[in-house]
Amino acid sequence: MLAFLGFLTIILVLALIMSKKSSTLIALIIVPVITGFITAFVTAPQTIIDAAAAKAAEAGTEFVAPTVTFGAQLEQTFKSITGWMGSGLTSIAATGVMFIFAILFFSTCSDAGVFDPIIAKILKLTGNDPVKIAIGTFIIGCICHLDGSGATTFLIAIPAVMPLYRKMKMNFWVEATIVALAAGIMNVMPWGGPTIRAATAISGLGYEITAAQLWVGIMPSWIVGIICCLLLSAWLGKKEAKRLAAGIPADPCEVEMVNEAETGNSDLVRTGWRWYFNICLIIVLLFVLIKGLLSPAATFMIGFCILLIVNYPNVKQQHDIINSHAKAAFLMVSIVFAAGAFTGIMKGSGMLTAMTDALVAIIPSSVGKIMAPVVGIFSVPLSLLFDPDSFYYGVMPVIANAVAAMGGSAVAVAKASIMGQMTLGFPLSPLTGATFLLLGLAGQDLGDHQKHTLPLAWLVSIVMVVVGCLFCGLLASA
């Protein structure tokens, strides 16, 4: 029964989220609470009896089985649900705190204009060379995605280089593809949504790991992925140079949105010594994260406070900045905590273990060790089928637990997943609103964008998986 209820919970959560019949937050809380309540109610009598037996053994007295009344059974049910949810929330509390302050930190960096001079310099260096323009586009996309927001990346990066593409008569789909690759590979960063979700889900299974540790764990693959994306950008630029030299016209498109970067409030921009200080602060934070000198939550909490004090000493201005980004931070972290409750119920109720046993019974044990690379290889196309919440909170935990039971590594499944699922795959997915913002800004059709970008993103992801098998422990045993 537990396995049935577990699979039913997963199916209902996925169906509600993907059909848009419910918000992710509600689906992740209500569905497992209902199935968890059923499980807790059915198992409550035995739980009460076991507790009584334990007390008798501790006291050294004879055990007499208690009579379990309906009221006692119901009370135990509520206690079980509370305990399971509390355990899940405890396991991801630090991740939620890190997510809040990472969003606040990098959003405030954007307000302060930290990246503006860098982008301007890159645009100046690209000149009229399509290859340099393509490489510059990729670098700008990477810089813009430091805050982990796809919408912000596309709103800044696409309009910033659009005049060059228009002047050179380059294809706008090339710009869209390059920016998509940049945003996708940078979405692996520890404050990016997929890595946060993967760490949350795995921590909920009892494997204590932070998003920063996951990121550092696949660092060789990530660096190779960035190099591959850069080379592909140069290749696309070279193709454009050949097309222009042959006099072949660009593909038609319709730019639907205003092609000017949103620079935000100019009163918040900081120049001079503060700009250099902010750059140094970002470098220090990244060093601390990579070396693990402080926890990710503590790193961003301290970093954000220093950023505010140095750039905006006025208390009212500090409040205004925090309030301007609070909505985005709250919406994302609320889902993280909902996922903690979800995994807590699934694990504490025994549903996850029962589902794992069912999968282990039908999957050959020899498959366990190679399951992580298999997940990684198909992670990009899986982005077209599952939104990040559905995959990381619904699908991945079941696979990871089953892999661990078969002798493989659950953490390896998480590592493999973030090599494509809603990282390189997110700017291709119709399940994310940011994808359509990208398409609107670049005047592209979703089908054409997927045709141009999917093979390249998938190729980069596969290369990352291969490197991961060699250097990142994707083939590790439990």
Q: What are the residue ranges spanned by the domains of the chain?
A: 2-471
| pLDDT tier for residue 257 given thresholds of 50, 70 and 90 | very low
Confirm if 163 and 175 have CB atoms less than 8 A apart. no
| pLDDT tier for residue 93 given thresholds of 50, 70 and 90 | confident
Angle at 252 between CA 251 and CA 256, to 5 degrees: 130
Confirm if 104 and 333 have CB atoms less than 8 A apart. no
**Which residues make Cβ contacts (< 8 Å) with residue 57, sequence separation at least 6?**
63
Distance of CA 423 to the CA centre of its chain: 7
Q: Which residue type is seen at 58? A: E
Bigger pLDDT: 160 vs 171: 171
Nearest to 329 by CA among 98, 19, 158, 154: 98
User: Using the 8-state DSSP alphabet, how is residue 431 labeled?
Assistant: T
Nearest to 133 by CA among 223, 222, 244: 244
Tens of pLDDT, residue by residue over 170-221, are 999 999 999 999 999 999 998 888 998 999 889 888 888 888 899 999 999 9
Mean pLDDT (whole number) for 98-119: 81
User: Using the 8-state DSSP alphabet, how is residue 66 labeled?
Assistant: P
Sign of CA dihedral 33, 35, 39, 42: positive
> 33: number of CA atoms within 13 Å, CB side?
15
Q: Is the pLDDT of residue 376 over 60?
A: yes
Nearest to 178 by CA among 144, 134, 221, 143: 134
Read out DSSP for 94-125?
Answer: HHHHHHHHHHHHHHHHHHTTSSHHHHHHHHHH
